[in-house]
A and B are shown apart, each in its own frame.
Chain A
Amino acid sequence: MALILQAKNLNKAFGAVTAAKDVSAAIEQDSVVGLIGTNGAGKTTFINMITGYLKPDTGAIEYEGRDITRLPPRDITRLGICRSFQIPQLYSSLSVLDNMHIGLGIVLRNAGLGGYFARPGALVPGFGKPAEEVAEHLLARFGLADYRSRNAQVLPGGVRKLLDIALTMVAKPRVLLLDEPTSGVSAQEKFGIMQMVLDAVRAEGATVLFVEHDMEVVSRFAQRVLAFYDGRIIADAPPAVALQDPEVKRHVVGRARA
């Protein structure tokens, strides 16, 4: 399969702390990759470097053959790499629907359809439908339709997570990075939420990288696992293999949160 994203020998240090040590990974198009590791192992640093929040000290990131290492987050987003956050980043004083419309507005503006002053009825690129319909479509996909007029601030934790992910989908990302999509979600809900998210995301055709602490979730949903320890990738294999790796067992699985 074709490669869509490639990290080459990334290094990143914060003072004496090494957050990434010679991290390399090649991500195939349409794959679902799970990132595992204890807190501080370098998973979020990896995501932050890909999305432009952090610049690696050395190394390069290529997306569809193009070097994106030094681009700012918004340019990387425009190219089709989107992310969700461990702590959902919402427009909390606004309704769920307004949240979606802000995102859709940005998509319209970036598509150049009248820029900042795009007409409300303009067709959203990638969906070929007006913003109103795209919003409803995505809200339904993520099970958020009943919450549409609720204020984002008062949503239950799991719903906030879903909205955070739904917000990334307005731009039709080609690569989606999910930072702990099921953290703060009850054990019973985890599988359901993960299934819904992956169904929705895969239906829109995106490659997925997700950070996860629950090994059952990882083995069920990931096609491939990148195990991080101490800023390095210590295993890169399908879950059945990676989770049995002695080093992974010692450093990750044995110490993972329940």
Chain B
Amino acid sequence: MVLLIGGPWLPQWAMFIVTIAFAKGLVALGLMLLLRAGLVSFGQALYYCLGAYAAGALGRFFGVSDIFAQMLAGAAAAGVAAFILGFLLAKYRGIFFGLLSLALSMILYGLLVKNEALGSTDGFNILPSTLFGMRPGPGWVRYAVLASAGVVALLLALAVHRYLNTPLGRLAPAIKDNEIRVEYMGASARHAVHVMYVIAAVLAGVGGALAATTVGHIDPEMAFWTTSGEFIFITILAGTGSVVAPFAGALLYGVIHTTAYDLSPNTWQLSLGAALLLIIVFLPEGLWSLFAQRRWR
């Protein structure tokens, strides 16, 4: 709400950081769902990138630049891909799950780099977003995107919050704890992981589409493993305490990243690394443990 009202007065660069935080927060939210089941995906950039390219393709090949259509396309592309790849990945746990997901995202990276129609390593630009057929004035595009991102992120976060109390949501920590027991209670851990994997991918796809339209440009780097690393960074930074945490984590990440880059363009990774180290040492439950109260746990 604060953002919706105060948004127009934010400087453009701040709008950009906040919007990107929404986009990356959505990806981290999906990672958090997987993490609850004890699964770490080192390749969530796969779906982030797919979402971005789906949004981009919509404009490039069909001339559609509506931001909600873009997010929908991103979600659909990621969801379908995750549904197919899930048959393979849901069998694996631990490091095998992590590395296999990493490999898949690097395959997409390789494919995009080789694809001339999609701009190869340079990627391509995306038309300015429209909103239900309206074209906001030049000064308002950023805000329109920010507001749409905020609304969508809020709705998805609420949906995930409710999801945590569904049978599937409760099953995640059970799979992490004792998969044998899950099977002997009549549930299929593999099937449940498959569904969670698709949900996480859809969130990443929406995030990717948002990022694409915010930045106005997409390239294969979005599928590169360092991008996946960034998402894991955010997820660890945030902790799994609440559905708000990934967004807070993404925002903090954006601020640290931007500041570090401003202060010292050559060693910003060093500052990021130091920040992560401090979080792991002093807040092993993530940033959110600073705010968490007993009743939320």
Give A residues with C-beta under 8 Å from B.
51, 72-75, 77-78, 82-83, 89-94, 98, 101-103, 105-110, 114-120, 167-168, 170-171
Give B residues with C-beta under 8 Å from A.
163, 165-168, 170-171, 173-174, 176-178, 180-188, 192, 195
In contact, B184 and A74 (Cβ under 8 angstroms): yes
In contact, A89 and B186 (Cβ under 8 angstroms): no
- Distance to closest chain A CB from B184 (angstroms): 6
Residue of A nearest to B186 (CB): A77
Please judge, given known A-B contacts A74-B187, A105-B171, A110-B186, whether A92 and B192 are in contact too, CB under 8 Å.
no
- Distance to closest chain B CB from A115 (angstroms): 8
Chain A residues, CB < 8 A from B171: 102, 105-106, 116
- Top-7 shortest CB links A-B: A105-B167, A116-B168, A77-B186, A91-B177, A89-B181, A106-B187, A109-B167
- Complex Cα spacing A116 to B162, Å: 12
Could you give 28 example pairs across A and B, Cβ below 8 Å?
A51-B184, A73-B183, A73-B184, A74-B183, A74-B185, A75-B186, A77-B185, A77-B186, A78-B186, A83-B184, A89-B180, A89-B181, A90-B178, A90-B181, A91-B173, A91-B178, A91-B181, A93-B173, A93-B176, A98-B170, A102-B171, A105-B167, A106-B185, A106-B187, A115-B167, A116-B166, A116-B195, A119-B166
Residue of B nearest to A131 (CB): B167
Please judge, given known A-B contacts A73-B183, A82-B184, A94-B173, whether A106 and B178 are in contact too, CB under 8 Å.
no
Residue of B nearest to A105 (CB): B167
- Complex Cα spacing A212 to B167, Å: 34
Please judge, given known A-B contacts A83-B184, A171-B186, whether A117 and B168 are in contact too, CB under 8 Å.
yes
Chain A residues, CB < 8 A from B166: 105, 114, 116-120
Chain B residues, CB < 8 A from A91: 173-174, 177-178, 181
- Complex Cα spacing A171 to B182, Å: 13
Residue of B nearest to A92 (CB): B177
In contact, A116 and B167 (Cβ under 8 angstroms): yes
Chain B residues, CB < 8 A from A94: 173-174, 177
Chain B residues, CB < 8 A from A106: 167, 171, 182, 185-187
